[in-house]
Amino acid sequence: MPNNPCIQLESLVQDAEVHRHVHHTSEVQKYVDTHPELHHHTRNLTNEIKEKLIFYIANGERDKEEHIRSELEGIRSHIDASNEQGNVLFSLLAEEIALSYLMMRQSDTSHARHHANLSTQALRRADTAHVRLMRSIRTLASIQKLTPFINVNLGQQIVNN
């Protein structure tokens, strides 16, 4: 595996996305658990991007910006309520869902503003934003299903809990 932490994480996430197997998802969890600084850096970058998207969607109007922020807070609180507190992977996925949601909203806003000049690239960008949001939600759902299991050898019988 490469030495660059971002490339390592990207590789693990891609494997988890492609193979959708508990082993690959667990590898992402192990990586995140052993790199606590990742959460801080990711949150800073995500917040910068979110603020730019909010500004664009709201067209610079403060009341609209606050409305969008309250929508994001609602999404975030819903996700947080159904997840383990303190789990960095859940937190990162919640941020990804919020960012993907904003990217999809930005795409919709752009289409509404420039409907006469839509390009195939703009349409592909909209599709990509939607796929990204759905993947993030699916990944969160698969992470929620992960439960630690214990193998107990009882003679010839193995019991999974």
| pLDDT tens column, 47-90 | 888 999 999 999 999 999 999 999 999 988 888 877 766 677 78
Longest Cα–Cα distance in the chain: 72
Q: 8 CB contacts (<8 Å, ≥6 apart)?
A: 1, 2, 31
Q: Is the pLDDT of residue 127 over 80?
A: yes
Q: What average pLDDT score do residues 38-45 get?
A: 74
Do 32 and 92 touch, CB atoms closer than 8 A? yes
- DSSP class of residue 116? G
Q: Does residue 86 sit in helix, strand or coil? A: coil
- DSSP class of residue 121? H
